[in-house]
C-alpha cells in the first residue's frame, strides 16, 4: 500500500495547471476586490471633499458674521448720540463719500445703487454704507470760538492726524465735520481753512464753540457690496474713502446673496417698531438695528449627487449647480443708537 505521503506526492504530480474556468473565477475575484477597493477610495475621497467644503463654508459664515457685525456696530461717532446736530462744512457734503450726517445707509434694486459702485454691484443684491470714526482721537486743549480756523489739540506721538484728513470734532452733544488743511505735529494745531484740499471746506465756521476736552477723530465712509471677479466668482467688496483716497478690496468669497432690512424706531418708546426694505426707509437716522439674510455657497462644485434646493428671501430655489448652500440670518444693533 502507498503511504499518505506517496499519495499526496502523486496528486501534486498529476496537477499540471489551472483549468480555464478556474482561471476565469480567479480573475473575477481579483476584479471584484479591486473594484471594491476603488469604491471605498472614491467614497472616502467624496466624503473628504464634502467635509472640507463644509468646513470652509462654515468658516466663511463665521468670518462674515464677525466682520459685518463689527462694522455695523461702529456706525456713528463715539459719544455723539444725535447725528442731526452734525454740521458738515465740507464741499460735496451730500454725496456718498461725505454725507457724515447719515452714519448708516442702505440701497437695493428698487432705490438704485450708488453711482460709485453701480456698475459692479450684482443686480438684486443689497448694498449698505457705514460712516464712522477710526483711529486714535485727540482732545481740544482749550475752548475755541466757532469762527476760528485753528484748533489746539493734545500732542501725540505718532500723530494720529495729518494734513488733508477728514475729521469730526464733538463735545457729545454737537459735532462738526471738516477737512484738515494743515496739521502741526509739534504743537497739535489743526487748521481748517477754505480753498484747499479735496473735497475742501465750504466754510470754517462750525456754528458752535467747542469746549476744552472736546474730541477730534478721523472719519471715513465704507460701502459694502457683492460683485463678481474675473472668473465669475461672487465676492464681497468694500469700497473705502479715507480723506479723499478711494480704495476697493475683496473681503471674502462664498457669499452669494445679501438681503437687508432695517429696524426703524419711529416713536418715543425705545425699540424697533418695524423692519423695512431700504426703499421704504424715509429717515435713516431712525434706524437702530439691521437684519441681514445671507446666502453662502461652497467654492467647490459637484459635491452633491443632485441639484440642491434651498429657501432664501422667502422663496424656494433649486440651484443650477451641485455646490453646498447655506443660509444665515442675524440682527445687529447700532451701538451709538442703543446706548
pLDDT digit string, tens, across residues 288-319: 999 999 999 998 888 888 999 999 999 999 99
Per-domain boundaries in the chain: 23-73+254-339, 80-252
Q: Tell me the pLDDT of the chain averaged across its residues.
A: 87
261 pairs with which residues across the strands? Answer: 291
CB contact set of 9 (below 8 Å; sequence gap of 6+): none
Residue 10 has pLDDT above 60, yes or no: no
pTM of the model: 0.84
Share of the chain above pLDDT 70, in %: 86
For the beta carbon of residue 262, count every other beta carbon within 10 angstroms: 24
The reported pLDDT for the residue numbered 14 is: 54
Measured between alpha carbons, how far is 257 from 134 in angstroms, rounded to an integer?
28
For the chain, the straight-line distance linking the first and the last C-alpha, in angstroms and rounded, comes to: 109
pLDDT digit string, tens, across residues 247-282: 999 999 999 999 999 999 877 677 788 999 999 999
Largest CA distance in the chain: 133
- Phi, psi values for residue 273, rounded to 5°: -90, -30
pLDDT digit string, tens, across residues 149-208: 789 999 998 999 999 999 999 999 999 999 999 999 999 999 999 988 889 999 988 888
pLDDT digit string, tens, across residues 13-22: 555 556 777 6
pLDDT digit string, tens, across residues 275-293: 999 999 999 989 999 999 9
CB contact set of 272 (below 8 Å; sequence gap of 6+): 263, 264, 265, 288, 289
3-class SS at 43?
helix
Amino acid at each position: 500500500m502507498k503511504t499518505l505521503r506517496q499519495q499526496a506526492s502523486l496528486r501534486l504530480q498529476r496537477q499540471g495547471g489551472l483549468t480555464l474556468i478556474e482561471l476565469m473565477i480567479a480573475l473575477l475575484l481579483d476584479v471584484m476586490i479591486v473594484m471594491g477597493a476603488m469604491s471605498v477610495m472614491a467614497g472616502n475621497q467624496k466624503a473628504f471633499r464634502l467635509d472640507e467644503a463644509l468646513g470652509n463654508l462654515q468658516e466663511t459664515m463665521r468670518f462674515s458674521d464677525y466682520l459685518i457685525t463689527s462694522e455695523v456696530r461702529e456706525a456713528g461717532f463715539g459719544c455723539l448720540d444725535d447725528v442731526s446736530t452734525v454740521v458738515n462744512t465740507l464741499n460735496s457734503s451730500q454725496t456718498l463719500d461725505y454725507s457724515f450726517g447719515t452714519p448708516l445707509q442702505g440701497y437695493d434694486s428698487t432705490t438704485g445703487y450708488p453711482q460709485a459702485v453701480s456698475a459692479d454691484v450684482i443686480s438684486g443684491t443689497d448694498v449698505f454704507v457705514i460712516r464712522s470714526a477710526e483711529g486714535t482721537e485727540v482732545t481740544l486743549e482749550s475752548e475755541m470760538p466757532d469762527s476760528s480756523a485753528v484748533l489746539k489739540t493734545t500732542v501725540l506721538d505718532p500723530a494720529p492726524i495729518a494734513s488733508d484728513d477728514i475729521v469730526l470734532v464733538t463735545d457729545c452733544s454737537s459735532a462738526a465735520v471738516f477737512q484738515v488743511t494743515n496739521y502741526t505735529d509739534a504743537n497739535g494745531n489743526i487748521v481748517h481753512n477754505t480753498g484747499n484740499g479735496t473735497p475742501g471746506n465750504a466754510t470754517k465756521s462750525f456754528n458752535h464753540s467747542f469746549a476744552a476736552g472736546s474730541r477730534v477723530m478721523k472719519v471715513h465712509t465704507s460701502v459694502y457690496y457683492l460683485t463678481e471677479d474675473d472668473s465669475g466668482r461672487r465676492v464681497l467688496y468694500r469700497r473705502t474713502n479715507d480723506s479723499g483716497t478711494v480704495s476697493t478690496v475683496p473681503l471674502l468669497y462664498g457669499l452669494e446673496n445679501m438681503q437687508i432690512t432695517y429696524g426703524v424706531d419711529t416713536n418715543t418708546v425705545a425699540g424697533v417698531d418695524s423692519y423695512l426694505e431700504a426703499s421704504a426707509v424715509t429717515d435713516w437716522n431712525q434706524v437702530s438695528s439691521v437684519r441681514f439674510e445671507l446666502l453662502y455657497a461652497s467654492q467647490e462644485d459637484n459635491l452633491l449627487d443632485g441639484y440642491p434646493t434651498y429657501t432664501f428671501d422667502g422663496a424656494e430655489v433649486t440651484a443650477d449647480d451641485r455646490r453646498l448652500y447655506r443660509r444665515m440670518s442675524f440682527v445687529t444693533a447700532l451701538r451709538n443708537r442703543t446706548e
